[in-house]
Amino acid sequence: MSSSLTLGQVAGRYTFVAPEPNFTQGRKKIMADSLLRCRHTGIDHPYEIQVGLAPKYVLKLNTDWEAEKTKILQEMFAAYPDIADDNALFIQQVLAYGLADLGWRWLDKALCLNSTEYHWFFLTADEKIQSVCIIYHPKQSRMDGDKIFYIDYLASAYWNRDRPGHVKKFGNVGKILISYASYFATHVLGYRPGFCLHSLPTAEGFYKKLGMIEFEADAAKENLRYYEAPPQVADKLAGESIHV
């Protein structure tokens, strides 16, 4: 999908569900301590969280992230001139350069994941979208059968990922959205604390560090491993969320 589409063209091609009223509508205003420190400059930047599938955010994400991805691919091909003819080397370096989600298309996801079972969260700072999270509900817990939510997609902007010759600009942008989604699921959706997901191999260490429980790989999900956050872990994360 071309990143040069206008907002009007995107709105005409996709059906977006309007953000829910009250709690979920519009930006969540920043609080005094909701800051991200840039690891390049040491400057603190305030951030906000947008709840709801708004076309302008999807278009902004698609435009900025695709441009950064193209830049990274150019760096990778310059560093490894033979990569175009070596599939094993290509796969190895795609992972090394933080591009495990190379094939994800956010405009396509907006088309498919826009029913009331889905909720979108965007973290914005420094005039860019720094991370995005899409959750689905309800999902049955594999621990006790209770209803919890499922993280369908979670991604940080490409400039927020370490790669050869580059240190991420902002850290914890994925965890912040998980915390906020956890708070949202308990206080708005009414579920007990808990969430689950299927992890890309490169992200498994992150989810283990959060305290999620590892289950077997799921053949129905491209053999990705299933992880679930027990109530105490999800409740702690929700308590860390900055909200108004």
Kindly report, residue by residue over 120-158, the tens digit of the pLDDT.
999 999 999 999 999 999 999 999 999 999 999 999 999
3-class secondary structure, 25: coil
End-to-end CA distance of the chain: 36
Domain membership of residue 118 as a residue range: 7-240
Give Dmax over CA atoms of the chain in angstroms: 54
pLDDT the model gives residue 20: 41
pLDDT the model gives residue 33: 66
pTM for this entry: 0.87
In a domain, 2, yes or no: no
Q: pLDDT by residue (tens digit) across 168-209?
A: 999 999 999 999 999 999 999 999 999 999 999 999 999 999
Confidence band, pLDDT 50/70/90 cuts, at residue 241: confident
- Tokens 């350069």 identify what position? 97
In a domain, 151, yes or no: yes
How many domains does one find in the chain? 1
In a domain, 1, yes or no: no
Mean pLDDT of the chain: 89
- CATH number reported for the structural domain that contains residue 159 in this entry: 3.40.630.30
